[in-house]
Homo-oligomer: A and B are copies of this chain.
Amino acid sequence: MKDLLMPAASVALPAELLTQAETLRLARGEALFRQGDPVRYVALVLEGELKAVRYMLDSAECVMLRARAGELFAESSLADSRYRCDGIATGPARVALVPVEAMRAALGGVDSLAYRLCLAVARQARRQCSRLERLRLKRARDRVLHFLVCEGGEAGIVRWSGHLSELAAELGLERETLYRTLATLEAEGRLRRLDDELRLLA
């Protein structure tokens, strides 16, 4: 662990955390964790590179983030009980596994400002993942549906006070395309458009 060359972006973890860490080797393509696994560790990448990916309906993979040697990986999973992505080595890699409990403790516990702030940042990261996944979809229809499902919550209702063109910008579409897509969905009965509200049906 000593004499390890770390890039500028590296996180110098305190020794008391690293002593609790096991290290692990991964081969190219091997998974450190899978979507749905309980979050037990945050990883410090010692060698190689890892990526966090999600698989879409058509099984295409969507890369959420990458971490190289010296960087933390999956640190935003601190906010979750289960991983939301697969963590895959893009090549031969070596990681140190820091138990999340140790990490939380080092932050001063779940009531500390530090922990709560990290949660807030991690939550934003999670939303960005959602955005990323949405923009990764090629069809306008899929983006709109993804947006409605993600933002509409249980009831499938999204309030939108802004103009249609702002929603179009949010989705990375043109005004006209968005309009036509909404019109189609409404004609299919999958959607209701009220004044400043979109309702996903069935």
Chain B residue at minimal CB-CB distance from A42? B117
CB pair B132 A128 closer than 8 Å: yes
Measured between C-beta atoms, what is the minimum distance from A106 to chain B in Å?
Answer: 5
For the complex, what is the distance from the CA of A116 to the CA of B44, rounded to whole Å? Answer: 13
Q: How many chain copies does the complex carry?
A: 2
Q: Is B60 in contact with A90, judged by CB distance below 8 angstroms? A: no
Report the minimum CB–CB distance from A177 to chain B (whole Å): 11
A135 within 8 A of B: yes
Question: Does A136 interact with chain B (Cβ within 8 Å)?
Answer: yes
Q: How many residues belonging to A are interface residues under a CB distance threshold of 8 Å?
A: 52
Q: Are B114 and A114 in contact (CB under 8 A)?
A: yes
* B-contact bits for A151-194, CB 8 A (1 contact / 0 none): 00000000001100010011010000000000000000000000
Q: Could you show 14 A-B contacts with beta carbons less than 8 Å apart?
A: A11-B117, A63-B131, A65-B127, A75-B120, A90-B166, A91-B162, A106-B113, A107-B113, A114-B115, A118-B118, A121-B121, A125-B125, A128-B128, A128-B132
A61 proximal to B (CB < 8 A): yes
A199 to B90, CA, bound (A): 20
Task: Closest B residue to A113 by CB, please name it.
Answer: B106
Chain B residues, Cβ within 8 Å of A129: 128
Residue A31 at the B interface, CB < 8 A? Answer: no
Q: How far is the CB of A21 from chain B (nearest CB, A)?
A: 14
Q: Which residue of B lies closest to A114 (CB)?
A: B114
Which residues of the other chain, B, contact A12 by a CB distance below 8 angstroms?
116
**Are A118 and B114 neighbours in the complex by a CB distance under 8 Å?**
yes
Cβ of A64 < 8 Å from any Cβ of B? yes
A127 contact set on B, CB distance < 8 A: 65-66
For A14, the closest partner residue in chain B by CB is B113
